[in-house]
Amino acid sequence: MERTVLPLAAAVSAKREGLPALVLLGPFLLAFLLFFLVPACETFWLSLTDSSLTRTNAFVGLDNYATLLRDASFRDALANTFYFALLTVIPLTALGLLMALLVNRFVRVQGWLQGVFFLPFVLPISVMTLVADWMLQPSSGIVNHLLGSQRPWLADPDWALPAVAIGTVWWTVGFNMLLFLAGLRNIPAEQYEAAALDGARGWSLFAHITWPSLRPVTTTCLILQMIASLKVFGQTYILTSGGPFNTTRVTLHYMYETAFTQSDAGYAAAIAMAFVAVVLMLSLLQAWVVRWMARRDA
């Protein structure tokens, strides 16, 4: 819900609240500056040099970026990252919505359902990957037991990334459920009552009240999820180490290998900066599409 404030009143209150606001924001701004902005600028500077892991070497201008444009490994890693995002963003959002609807619908087992859906989210990544690895074991895993197959999921070039994606959905969907649940509870009950009086039932209630009212939450979910999915590293690093044959080596893993295995920090910084640009552009594009759709509907 947006609050409407008169421009004049806003300016006055901004002036009066200036100092307290600054004091309150201070700790965050300091941390932001120290641990984000300064390192980010340093990374940009590093990307213009030929540096090793611990030593900043000669300035090479845009050489690293020129190399990046011709680097097939970088393109492969980007493609893997986008594939992972494709496999996770929409399922995570849709499943989160579905779970929230279920929790909202079955009031009597609400607490229990909510717990079951949210529990995986509180697991640290090390536990989540252990569980996923164990479930996906070729000979002893429960997944193959249920499917009656012998597939080495995480060593199969076609299935490794989808398998990691499924594990990730199971792991993080609980958070989206919470977002949607909050959204659902913000929809005034009167709207449903009025619609019910007009004879609306089931699907049309969802299509005409729930879905439109949830649009802001859905948008937030999609954007947060896309950024999270593009930033994937831990799951593939632990479960597949980028294998088999680089089919699950995502961009950040490529950056990690470049920096730490190959001690090529300058180039790794260039990968990082290029990736930031890609993610930023995608986020802006997504926000623009969402706004355009909202305008079209309005």
Partner 1 sequence: MARPGSGLAAAALLGLLGTGLSTPARAQMEVRMWTLLSGGDGARMQALVRDFNASQRDVRVVSTTLKWGEPFYTKLITASVVGAGPDLATVHLSRLVNLAGGGVLRPISNAELTAAGLQGGDYLARQWQKSQYRGAAYAVPIDMHPLVLYYNKTLAARAGLLGADGTLAPIEGIAALTDAFRAANERTGKPGLTMESSQSSYAIWRLWTSMLAQQNVGIIKDGRFTYGAAGEATLAGIAAWFRRGYAQVGLDYPASTSQFLGGGATFMLNGVWEVPELVRAAKAGTLGFDYGIVPLPRMYANASAWADSHGFALPANPGHEPSPQKVAAVLRFVAYVSRHSMGWAEGGHIPAYRPVAESPEAKALQPNAQYAAAAANVIYDPDGWYTGAAGPLEAIASKFMPAALYGYMTPAQAMRRFESESARLVRKPPPRY
- If the CB atoms of residues 72 and 197 are measured against partner 1, the closer one turns out to be 72
Q: Any bridge partners for residue 211, and if so which?
A: none
Q: Determine phi and psi for 159, rounding to 5 degrees.
A: -105, -15
Query: What would you measure as the largest C-alpha separation in the chain, in angstroms?
Result: 74
User: Which residues between 27 and 66 bind partner 1 (CB under 8 A)?
Assistant: 52-55
Looking at beta carbons only, is 80 or 93 nearer to partner 1? Answer: 80
Q: Which of 191, 263 has the CB closer to partner 1?
A: 263
Residue 151 or 215: the one with the smaller Cβ distance to partner 1 is: 151
For residue 244, cis peptide bond before it (omega within 30 degrees of 0): yes
CA 165 to chain centre: 12
d(CA 108, CA 114): 11
Residue 106 CB partners (closer than 8 Å, separation 6+): 113
238 binds partner 1 (CB under 8 A): yes
Residues 26, 33, 62, 126: which binds partner 1 (CB under 8 A)?
A: 126
Judged by CB under 8 A, does residue 152 bind partner 1? yes
Beta-bridge partners for 49:
59
CB of 43 to partner 1, least distance (A): 17
**Looking at 89, 267, 268, 269, which residue binds partner 1 (CB under 8 A)?**
267
Residue 49: phi, psi to the nearest 5? -125, 170
Can residue 213 be called a binding residue for partner 1 (CB under 8 A)?
no
Nearest to 101 by CA among 5, 211, 199: 211
Whole-angstrom Cα distance, residue 287 to residue 168? 24
**Contact region with partner 1 (CB under 8 A), list: 83-91, 106-114, 213-221, 263-271:** 263-271
Residue 71 Cβ vs partner 1, minimum distance, rounded to whole Å: 8
Residues that bind partner 1 (CB under 8 A): 52-55, 67, 71-73, 126, 129-130, 133, 152, 155, 157, 237-238, 241-246, 257, 260-264, 267
